[in-house]
Amino acid sequence: MNHKLLVEMTRHNIAHVKADTADQSNDILEIPGSFYTDPERWASECRNVFGRLPLVVALSSEIAEPGMYRAAEFMNRPVLVARRKDGTAQAFVNMCTHRGAQIVEDGKGKANRFTCPYHGWTFANTGQLIGVPSAKEFGEIDRDCFGLTHLPTFEHNGFVWAVLDPASQLNIKQFLSGYDDVLGVFGFESWHVFGRKRLESANWKLTYDGYVDFYHLPVLHKKTFGDKFSNRAISFNWGPHQRIVTPDPSLLKLEEKPESEWDTKKMLKGVWPMFPNAALISIDGRGDAMMFSQIFPGDSVENSYSTHVFITERELTRQEERDAAEEQFSFLVRVLAEEDYPVCYDIQKNLNSGVRDKVVFGRNEPGGQIFHGWVDRVVRASSDEELNMLFAEGQAENESRQTENV
Ligand SMILES: [Fe+2]
Distance in Å, CA 395 to ligand 1 centroid = 30
Question: Which positions ≥6 away from 238 have C-beta within 8 Å?
Answer: 176, 177, 178, 179, 182, 394, 397, 398
List, for residues 86-126, the tens digit of each pLDDT value.
999 999 999 999 999 999 999 999 999 999 999 999 999 99
> For residue 345, how far is its CA from the centre of ligand 1 (angstroms)?
14
Instruction: Determine the pLDDT at residue 396.
Output: 75
For residue 168, how far is its CA from the centre of ligand 1 (angstroms)? 34
The per-residue pLDDT for 392 is 93
368 CA distance to ligand 1 middle (Å): 13
Q: Determine the distance separating the centroid of ligand 1 and the alpha carbon of 220, expressed in angstroms.
A: 7
Indicate the length of the chain as a whole number. Answer: 406
Q: HEC profile for 287-309? A: CCEEEEEEEEECCCCCCEEEEEE
Average pLDDT, the chain: 94
CA 380/CA 108 separation, integer angstroms: 36
Round to whole Å and give the CA distance between 375 and 387: 11
Q: Is 380 exposed, middle or buried (CB count within 10 Å of its CB: 0-12, 13-18, 19+)?
A: exposed
CA–CA distance, 352 with 203 (Å, rounded to integer): 11
Q: What pLDDT is stored for residue 405 in this prediction?
A: 43
Nearest alpha carbon to residue 51 among 294, 278, 378: 378
Ligand 1 centroid from CA 320, angstroms: 28
CA separation for the pair 160, 125 (Å, rounded): 16
Distance 225 CA to ligand 1 centre (A): 10
- Residue 166 Cα to ligand 1 middle (Å): 35
Task: Find the distance separating the first CA and the last CA of the chain, reported in whole Å.
Answer: 9
- For residue 336, the CA-to-ligand 1 centroid distance in Å is 7
Q: What pLDDT, on the 0 to 100 scale, is given for residue 2?
A: 85
* Spatial contact of 238 and 370, defined as CB atoms under 8 Å apart: no
Least Cα distance to 97 among 122, 78, 72, 62 occurs for: 122
- Binned at pLDDT 50, 70 and 90, residue 1 comes out as low
Specify whether domain 2-53+178-405 bears CATH 3.90.380.10: yes
Q: What is the pLDDT of residues 312-333, one digit of tens each?
A: 999 999 999 999 999 999 999 9
* Alpha carbon of 339 to ligand 1 centroid (Å): 7
Q: How far is the CA of 341 from the centre of ligand 1 (A)?
A: 8
Tell me, in angstroms, the distance from the centre of ligand 1 to residue 163's CA.
29
Ligand 1 centroid–CA 112 distance in Å is: 42
pLDDT on residue 282: 85
DSSP states along 370-394 = HHHHHHHHHHH--SHHHHHHHHHHH
- Ligand 1 mean position, distance from CA 88 (Å): 37
CA angle 235, 283, 326 (to 5 degrees): 155
Q: Under CATH, what is the fold of the domain 55-169?
A: Rieske Iron-sulfur Protein (2.102.10)
The number of helices, as runs of H, and strands, as runs of E, in the chain is: 11, 20
Residue 224 near residue 339, CB atoms below 8 Å: yes
pLDDT above 70 for 232: yes
pLDDT of residue 288: 86
Q: Which of 196, 152, 201 is nearest to 174 (CA)?
A: 152
Compute the distance from residue 328 Cα to the ligand 1 centre, in Å: 15
**145-149 mean pLDDT:** 98
Angle, helix 384-405 to helix 366-380, in steps of 10 degrees: 140
C-alpha 350 – ligand 1 centre gap (Å)? 19
**Rounded distance from Cα 294 to ligand 1 centre (Å):** 15
Distance in Å, CA 211 to ligand 1 centroid: 7
Q: What is the DSSP string of 207-257?
A: HHHGGG--TTHHHHTTTTTGGG--S--EEEEETTEEEEE---GGGGGGGGS
Give the model's pLDDT for residue 364: 96
What is the predicted pLDDT for the residue at 404? 52
Please, are residues 404 and 8 in contact by the beta-carbon 8 Å criterion?
no
Give distance in angstroms: CA of 221 to centre of ligand 1. 7
What's the gap in Å between 355 CA and the centre of ligand 1?
25
Give residue limits of the domains in the chain: 2-53+178-405, 55-169
Contact 103, 114 (CB under 8 A): yes
Ligand 1 centroid distance, CA of 374 (Å): 21
